[in-house]
Amino acid sequence: MPELEWVRRARSFGPRVAVTSDGHDHSYDSLLSISEAIAASLLDGSTDLDEQRIAFLIPASFDYVAVQWGIWRAGGIAVPLSLFSADPELEHVITDAQVDRIIAPEDSLAKLRPLCDRLSVPLLSVDQISSRQSVPLPELDAQRRAMILYTSGTTSKPKGVVSTHANIQAQITTLVEAWGWQSKDSIPLFLPLHHVHGIVNVLGCALWSGAKVDCFGSFDAQAVLERVADKEYSLFMGVPTIYVKLIRILEAADEGDRARYADGFAHMRLMVSGSAALPASVHEQWTDLTGQKLLERYGMTEIGMAISNPLQGERRPGAVGVPLPDVTIRLVSEAGELIEEENEPGEIQVRGPAVFSEYWHKPDVTEASFVEGWFRTGDMAVLEDGYYRIMGRLSVDIIKSGGYKLSALEIEDTLLMHPAIRECAVVGLPDDTWGEVVAVAIVTRDGEHIELPALKEWATERMSSYKIPKSLLLLEDLPRNAMGKVTKPAIQDLFD
Ligand code: MCA
Ligand code: AMP
């Protein structure tokens, strides 16, 4: 049986630089040899990991990629963990995915050790597994399950989205074709690597193409801008919040710096925005500052990218464009009828080889998320003059903040563990920087008082920082409709 296509391609790129991290260049050859050593360590005498789940908590770096490839080459399922998760969130992923082992850099072991000990999951350091002698690696089929990413939804706890190698390959190749990826491309990577945006759109596409990825452990705007000014990059991908933050920095910079940064951006062949709606005003400000017309696209963890403005042709502010190659889209009305005309809104449903295989160990939820083989995205859109425009989510309980998808129900469930909270309702409020920010209305027990700073401190132990409410309203009772159901739009209106 042949090797997986991405390994074969990496061999052909040999000495070219694949990844730059901490100031060091790492070639495709080196990625192949280190990932082979990691695979041998993980196999530890067995011939195939047979889809064991191996989790890893590693910032964007050469080590991240070598571990991801090592797990894949040994036949395992990669479960990347979020660097921003609090312990209870990590515990949910580790237990739900029935993780077999966890890999982390040497300097994170002490922080993870108590949790791993409590859950009886072995913890390995990257160094410990990177120097094993090579052994024969298993032959893998593209239908093998490759990755589980956790995504929040309309259930209280995040679900594991399972993608096969064939799914990931399809998610990559559609973008390589549509956005014209080439081996001479070079791209900065500052997005989190537990989501499709960073993993597939940046890392996956670049390494598939023989291009170079410059890793930043986090979004360090000043460091990124200096590299941009040096004209290091041909491509750039970010969420709208990143463009909003960069606009502020460019506007505040002195004339000389602003010109250097703007020149660096103008030099690129493509800049992409996605993960959340890009306001038309931000699109236009970016063009005014840099001359670049951002390409906006639409995607989801379960399907990769589905709709995109074109590389050549009109990039329309406020619209996400047309279906990508090999992706089929339909809009369906609330009544379940197929929409065949323009200007009629409906739910986006998707088919194609990039669509995930299942929610991990949730056959009922998986089945309910498809209708006649089409995946139901829960996003509403309308077709206008040949381009799709996203209108919002079907569920008020999904919040998008800084590009992260958050479940209001999950945050509520956590806040209800607070001893003074009797009832609460979490909502998203519009925000110029973050798209939406998390806010909470609370009814306390016995008229107790809660202050926002104390609530934030309490929540820090229990949830990622972007889920922590940024505004708080204390109410005697939550607004309800005639059926007694809490009405979230009424709560949103109560916040000014
Ligand atoms: C952080 N802060 C926030 C939020 N996040 N405040 C309100 N809402 C938030 N969401 C606060 C912090 O508490 C802190 O406050 C200050 O902002 C700076 O925080 P920091 O974490 O340093 O911010 P940053 O590093 O500038 O992060 C912004 C970011 C990040 C780079 C935009 O949020 C990010 O990487 N987002 C991308 C997520 C992503 O990749 N999503 C893709 C999933 P203080 O200063 O008071 O402490 S979606 C996907 O994959 C699909 C398939 C798709 O379509 O792409
Ligand atoms: P996630 O579940 O984190 O993968 O987030 C996917 C969701 O992000 C989609 O279902 C949309 O609601 C939203 N999204 C992604 N791209 C866009 C976009 N360009 N405009 C509006 N919403 C978007």
pLDDT tens for 419-429 read 999 999 999 99
Residue 364: partners with Cβ closer than 8 Å, 6 or more residues away? none
Question: Quick check: is 366 in a domain?
Answer: no
- 155 pLDDT band (50/70/90 cuts)? confident
The answer to whether 352 touches 328, Cβ cutoff 8 Å, is: yes
Kindly report the pTM of this predicted structure: 0.98
Residues in the chain: 496
Question: Quick check: is 75 in a domain?
Answer: yes
Measured in Å, residue 405 CA sits from the centre of ligand 2 at 8
What's the structural domain count of the chain?
A: 2
Measured in Å, residue 203 CA sits from the centre of ligand 1 at 19
Quick: pLDDT tens for 441-468. Answer: 999 998 899 999 999 999 999 999 999 9
CB of 196 closer than 6 angstroms to any ligand 1 atom: yes
Question: Quick check: is 56 in a domain?
Answer: yes
Question: Quick check: is 415 in a domain?
Answer: yes
Q: Which residue's CA is minimally distant from atom 8 of ligand 2?
A: 275
Residue pointed to by tokens 């609370």: 442
Question: Quick check: is 220 in a domain?
Answer: no
Residue pointed to by tokens 């063009």: 287
Measured in Å, residue 403 CA sits from the centre of ligand 1 at 7
Asked whether the predicted pLDDT for residue 280 surpasses 60, the reply is: yes
> What pLDDT is stored for residue 188 in this prediction?
98
Q: Which CATH number does the domain housing residue 55 bear?
A: 3.40.50.980
Measured in Å, residue 214 CA sits from the centre of ligand 1 at 20
Of 81, 34, 90, residue with least CA distance to 59: 81
Distance of CA 32 to the CA centre of its chain: 25
For the chain, the first-to-last Cα distance in angstroms comes to 62
- Of 140, 171, 188, the residue that ends a domain is 140
Ligand nearest to the CA of 403: 1
Percent share of the chain, pLDDT over 90: 96
Residue 478 CB coordination number (10 Å)? 18
> What pLDDT is stored for residue 369 in this prediction?
96
CB of 195 closer than 6 angstroms to any ligand 1 atom: yes
Asked whether the predicted pLDDT for residue 244 surpasses 60, the reply is: yes
Of 293, 296, 314, residue with least CA distance to 305: 296
Helices (H), 44-161: 62-73, 87-96, 109-119
**Structure tokens of 428?**
């998203």
Query: Which atom, in ligand 2's list, is nearest to the CA of 404?
Result: 3
Q: Could you tell me whether strands 471-474 and 435-444 are parallel, antiparallel, or unpaired per DSSP bridges?
A: parallel
Asked whether the predicted pLDDT for residue 255 surpasses 90, the reply is: yes
Quick: pLDDT tens for 42-55. Answer: 999 999 999 999 99
The residues with which 440 forms a beta bridge, in sequence order, are 426, 472
Query: Which atom, in ligand 2's list, is nearest to the CA of 378?
Result: 10
Ligand nearest to the CA of 195: 1
Mean pLDDT across the stretch 375-397?
Answer: 96
Mean pLDDT across the stretch 155-159?
Answer: 86
The residues with which 346 forms a beta bridge, in sequence order, are 381
> What pLDDT is stored for residue 2 in this prediction?
61
Quick: pLDDT tens for 57-70. Answer: 999 999 999 999 99
Measured in Å, residue 229 CA sits from the centre of ligand 2 at 30
> What pLDDT is stored for residue 329 in this prediction?
98
Mean pLDDT of the chain: 96
Asked whether the predicted pLDDT for residue 266 surpasses 60, the reply is: yes
Angle 280-290/240-252 helices, nearest 10 degrees? 40
The answer to whether 18 touches 6, Cβ cutoff 8 Å, is: no
Query: Which atom, in ligand 1's list, is nearest to the CA of 276?
Result: 54
> What pLDDT is stored for residue 447 in this prediction?
84
Asked whether the predicted pLDDT for residue 1 surpasses 60, the reply is: no
Residue pointed to by tokens 């597994």: 129
- Of 140, 163, 188, the residue that ends a domain is 140
Mean pLDDT across the stretch 195-215?
Answer: 98
Asked whether the predicted pLDDT for residue 472 surpasses 90, the reply is: yes
Q: Which CATH number does the domain housing residue 452 bear?
A: 3.30.300.30
Ligand nearest to the CA of 436: 1
Ligand nearest to the CA of 465: 1
Residue pointed to by tokens 């042949």: 2
Question: Quick check: is 96 in a domain?
Answer: yes
Residue 280: partners with Cβ closer than 8 Å, 6 or more residues away? 317, 318
Ligand nearest to the CA of 278: 2
Parent domain of 428: 398-495
Alpha-carbon torsion angle 376, 336, 339, 296, nearest 10: -20
Question: Quick check: is 270 in a domain?
Answer: no
Quick: pLDDT tens for 10-40. Answer: 999 999 999 999 899 999 999 999 999 999 9
Q: Which residue's CA is minimally distant from atom 5 of ligand 2?
A: 300
What is d(CA 416, CA 424) in angstroms, rounded to the nearest whole number?
A: 7
Classify 470 as helix, strand or coil.
coil
Q: Which of 82, 278, 298 to mutate to test the pocket of ligand 2 (most atoms within 8 A of CB)?
A: 298
**Structure tokens of 439?**
């806010």
- 361 pLDDT band (50/70/90 cuts)? very high
The residues with which 147 forms a beta bridge, in sequence order, are 78, 163
Residue pointed to by tokens 């005014």: 288
Asked whether the predicted pLDDT for residue 163 surpasses 60, the reply is: yes
> What pLDDT is stored for residue 132 in this prediction?
86
Q: Which of 400, 401, 436, 467 to mutate to test the pocket of ligand 2 (most atoms within 8 A of CB)?
A: 400
Lowest mean pLDDT segment, chosen from 1-5, 89-93, 177-181: 1-5
Is 312 buried (19+), middle (13-18) or exposed (0-12) by CB count in 10 A?
exposed
Q: Which residue's CA is minimally distant from atom 13 of ligand 1?
A: 465
- Of 140, 161, 178, the residue that ends a domain is 140
How far CA 334 is from CA of 345, 389, 396, in Å, comes to 9, 17, 16
What is d(CA 142, CA 5) in angstroms, rounded to the nearest whole number?
A: 9
Asked whether the predicted pLDDT for residue 156 surpasses 80, the reply is: no
What is d(CA 403, CA 151) in angstroms, rounded to the nearest whole number?
A: 12
Percent share of the chain, pLDDT over 70: 100
The answer to whether 194 touches 220, Cβ cutoff 8 Å, is: no
Q: Which residues line ligand 2 (CB under 6 A)?
A: 151, 196, 274-277, 296, 298-301, 320, 377, 379, 390, 393, 400, 405
Question: Quick check: is 254 in a domain?
Answer: no
